Amino acid sequence: MLCFVIVLTSSTPINGDKETERIHSAVNVLKEFGKMEESIPHDLIAQYQGIVIIPNLINAGLGIGGKRGKGVAIVKLDDGTWSDPVFITFTGGSIGPQIGVQSIDLVLVFKHKGVLAKVKDGDFTIGGDVSAAAGPFGRTSSANTDYKLQAEVYSYSRSRGLFAGISINGSNLGIDKSANTNFYGSDISSQDIFGMSKSTAESVQLLKATLKSL
């Protein structure tokens, strides 16, 4: 099953650079979330310091399940602007009542950017290092009376296909070092990328503008 998941997510894009295409896919995910009536609250984006966007996460299972996807992570700098994106991978498994294949657009919103910075060149376990809670919905915090912005990580997802349930706890977030090298042109660490806003690439500027519009 895991091999099946990997095959589904490892095909090479027909046109364009893979990393640029990944950023554009992340932009499209944010735009789609922005169109939803019950979307990620403005206050959450304003107060939290990091966000991970994983387009087309493949979730497949038949009793034992597997998840695999590639996306980008971005954090707020001290002046309130967004850093350049770090390319990441997301993998996980699960056991329980589940059957089918599902394509999911997953967004994780982090309360503290230091949590993402600690990933460095290793990995980070959701549910082990910190737990993710289902995110509150509504354009403003008043849309949800239980909305107190207490969780370290809030998760949001849009699903396509047929599947019975998804859990991201136990999944690993890792740094895609080869993608970062391909895009930035040097062997640069994720910590360095999280601390800078130097890229003039059109895709990066579009990503930051889309985040600002949320």
Per-domain residue ranges for the chain? 14-51+70-87+105-161+169-213
**Residue range 77-132, pLDDT digits in tens:** 999 999 999 999 998 765 455 556 678 899 999 998 988 887 765 567 776 666 67
Tell me what pLDDT residue 6 has: 43
Q: Are the C-beta atoms of residues 76 and 83 closer than 8 Å to each other? A: yes
User: What is the Cα 166 distance to its own chain's centre?
Assistant: 15
Region 47-60: mean pLDDT is 89
Under the banding of pLDDT at 50, 70 and 90, the label for residue 31 is very high
- Lowest average pLDDT, out of 36-45, 87-96, 162-171, 188-197, goes to 162-171
Quote the percentage of the chain above a pLDDT of 70: 71
Tell me what pLDDT residue 8 has: 41
Q: Whose CA is closest to 23, among 156, 167, 176, 188?
A: 176
Tell me what pLDDT residue 65 has: 60
Contacts of 178 (CB under 8 A, 6+ apart): none
User: What is the Cα 188 distance to its own chain's centre?
Assistant: 20
Rounded (10°) CA dihedral 66, 91, 105, 194: 180
**Residue range 126-143, pLDDT digits in tens:** 766 666 777 776 654 444
What is the residue-averaged pLDDT of the chain? Answer: 78
Tell me what pLDDT residue 19 has: 96
pLDDT of 5 > 90? The answer is: no
Under the banding of pLDDT at 50, 70 and 90, the label for residue 42 is confident
Tell me what pLDDT residue 155 has: 87
More confident residue, 190 or 162: 190
Under the banding of pLDDT at 50, 70 and 90, the label for residue 14 is very low
